[in-house]
Amino acid sequence: MTDVILKDAVKAIPTSQALIEDPLLNKGTAFTQAERDAFKLNGYFADVVETLDTQVARCLETIRALPTNLDRYVYLRDLQDTNETLYFAVITRNLDELLPMIYTPTVGAGCQQYHHIFRRPRGLFISYPNRAKMDEILANPRYDNVECIVVTDGERILGLGDQGVGGMGIPIGKLAIYTGCGGIAPDTVLPITLDTGTNNAERLADPLYFGWKHERVRGEEYDSFIDQFVEAVKKRWPNVLLQWEDFHKNNANRLLDKYRDALCTFNDDIQGTASVATGTLLSAIQITGKPLSEQRVAILGGGSAGVGIADLIRMAMVSEGLSDEEARKRFFIVGRYGLVTEKTPNLDTFQLGFRQDSKIIDGWDVAEAGKASLYEVIKFAKPTVLVGVAGQPGMFTEEIIREMGKHTERPIVFPLSNPTSCVEAQPSDIIKWTEGRAIIGTGSPFLPFEYEGKTYHFAQTNNSYIFPGVGLGTLAVGSKRVTDAMFLAAARALAELSPAKAKPGDRLLPTLDRMREVSSHIAVAVAKQAMAEGLAPKMDDAAIKAAIKAKTWEPVYKSLV
């Protein structure tokens, strides 16, 4: 919030009570004596004017005393709705400890329990029955400064499926990361949930569920509603950055394809996941010494995330000299029917580019003619990289991992499904099954593991490494669009910061307490790529860094008088 906007916001506050209840302006016990006098706050607080540091210490004491991570999630959400500066001071100073509380894996339980733990409204719910009032809903003057929106329809929340309006926990959490890790000012972000109903029988039967109790709208009605929303957003905020989040695979790719050239927009499940997976892979091959162009990649999960990962790695391979055809042959997508080939039934359009020739299976000794399971793909295709994004726990079995270890000296294994209840294999087991040779990235955080006298750290291959920097760079230079090439630039920038690059055997990715540094570094790379593509005005390096610094908000109290 700029000083001018801040002063205007304070002038608009009608009463001292309203000032305390505004999370963007509230300072709690840190209101100065001058502010207490000016806004008639004397008596609301005890005599001592506390510092932000003291308030942070009190919050941490409370957080650490709570019994469960869900309790901590609820406390932090209350804190965010009470005092945003304090909330972000707490999390930015303790990202390594608290990021799992505000996002994966705890946010999954938060979404499932959203209608039970609800306290105060945050963001906007736009329901299908209220579609005629969409412009009115978006017109709220409180959102005049919005620059970044995260929107979901709640149909595919992490690996948990349809959570209806409970999916609002995801946009709230993502935007908290935008601010905490990327420095996007909290008064410029807006979480939105599009309530098109739910097919979750448990939610529909719950008397406390407060979403539209109706089966999901499909087909032309759904598309018309989404189109109305996009047009309303473009009219209200012509230069906004719009992030699509946790849409079902039947909608995610086609909505991205439909709108990616209509406004500045991206889908984090497709492009953000692809970018962090690619960046982590680029970090891993710095350890193995084997170039990207020689990697063979098996991906469990043929949905939008899995194909998105394949496509960005393919782009990187082509940039290193492979032809597009050569690159595509190095990917083995395994879905519900086994290895994806031209004979696989019911393929979506976005999956067609990664079909293997079914003739490849003819030379394999498979249990069922014409089909190949994940184990058979590992045994006969001999991939060097294995990625899991299917949301099915335990799918990377000991047999599969040991088979991979037979033909790959340093297997690269990424069990990325979230939350931890959906992970394909415990990383500690993968270490044991490969005698400590595996290089591992996980979607959720896992504690270090001791094996035969060595400590193994597992890179949390989480989108939070990517999208805050992409957003920061995009907004700082006013890019008109977000492109796949910008996400590849982000992936390469992330790999540049890999501790393993400077010290073999070290962590694949920077520690979470360096997230603001990571986001700033990625923002520079993204901004330069946007300029190279003619999407933003040309700037020199100094001007780019200055624009990024100017866009970076810090959680400190500003004087209100």
C-alpha to C-alpha distances, 538 to 170, 290, 332, 353, 546, nearest whole angstrom: 34, 36, 40, 35, 14
Indicate the residue type of 457.
Answer: H
Calpha distance 298→353 (Å, rounded): 15
d(CA 313, CA 488): 8
Rounded CA gap, 522 and 186, in Å?
Answer: 20
Q: Is 246 annotated as a binding residue?
A: yes
The annotation status of 481 as a binding-site residue, yes or no, is no
Q: Which one from 27, 87, 114, 174 is the annotated catalytic residue? A: 174
156 annotated to a ligand binding site: yes
Query: Do 282 and 292 meet the contact criterion of CB atoms below 8 Å apart?
Result: yes
Query: CA torsion 227→229→231→235, rounded to 10°?
Result: 180
Report yes or no: 49 and 32 within 8 Å, Cβ to Cβ. yes
The label of the residue with tokens 């999208």 reads 467
The DSSP symbol for 357 reads: P
178 is catalytic: no
Separation between Cα atoms, residue 174 and residue 157, nearest integer Å: 13
Among residues 27, 73, 87, 103, which one is catalytic?
Answer: 103
Q: Is residue 548 within 8 Å of 526, Cβ to Cβ?
A: no
Give me 160's structure tokens. 């948990």
Residue 103 known to be catalytic = yes
The candidate with the shortest Cα–Cα distance to 418, out of 448, 388, 440, is 388
245 is in an annotated binding site: yes
- Known binding residue 462? Answer is yes
Whether residue 328 is annotated as binding a ligand: the answer is: no
Of 513, 560, 530, 477, nearest in space to 11 by CA:
560
- At 440, phi and psi to the nearest 5? -125, 135
Active site residues: 103, 174
Q: Extract the annotated binding site for (S)-malate.
A: 156, 418, 462
Residues marked as binding for a divalent metal cation? 245-246, 269
Annotated binding site: 156, 245-246, 269, 418, 462
